[in-house]
Amino acid sequence: MSAILVAILAYLLGGFPTGVLLSRFLLGRDVRDFGSHNPGAVNVWRIFGLKWGLAVVAVDFGKGYIAAKYFPLLGGENVWSDYPSFLGLFAVAGHIWSPFTGFRGGKGVGTIAGVALAVHPLAAVLSLSVWGVMALATKYSSVASLSAGGCFPLLVWWGGNVTRAELFAVCFVPIILILTHLENLKRLWIGTELKIGRSQSHGN
């Protein structure tokens, strides 16, 4: 299988609109109409409850993990075995710019976490710990995600045994997260950012 085809498949896998499909077809309401209007796990949690939020993050995590862990093993002309993080980034791109929802998707946090655990498990676990600490301390998912993403390349570098190409790839993580959280940063600045588990529309 050619490298280009594998990359396209990773992008399409990442584009699977978990939150949108779950909310519309299982719960009867489009999550994008409420809260932060984002189809990601945190907004699903705010609107529909923790179990549904966990379901979304599990699938979104799986998209990134599968793309980075198993798609590089596909045969033929596929050369991604040497660059799994780059292939994982195609899945992240699909999640953020989903072709199934008009190229508007989530912020990529769960899918990035899946890629990270598949390729750099120690750095991923430590970054998840940073996320947990910051989430508990601030109650803001955006702050937690940006903090964890900012630490991730440093933790990969600290862990050693990483190629320059892989280190270059993981440096895209904080850049992607900053770009997808620009609106959150604006809301944090003016004090209107939603906290974890709370919705302006539903109060839960």
Tokens of 138: 């601030």
Q: Is residue 198 scored above 70 in pLDDT?
A: no
pTM across the whole model: 0.91
Q: Tokens 């990969």 label which residue?
A: 156
How many angstroms separate the CA atoms of 22 and 168, rounded?
A: 35
Name the nearest CA neighbour of 110 among 176, 156, 46: 176
Half-sphere exposure of 182 (CA within 13 A, CB side): 4
DSSP 137-185: HH--HHHHHHHHHHHHHHHHHHH----HHHHHHHTHHHHHHHHHTHHHH
The model's pLDDT over 114-132, given as tens digits with 9 standing for 90+, comes to 999 999 999 999 999 999 9
The model's pLDDT over 35-82, given as tens digits with 9 standing for 90+, comes to 888 899 988 988 899 999 999 999 999 999 999 999 999 877 778 888
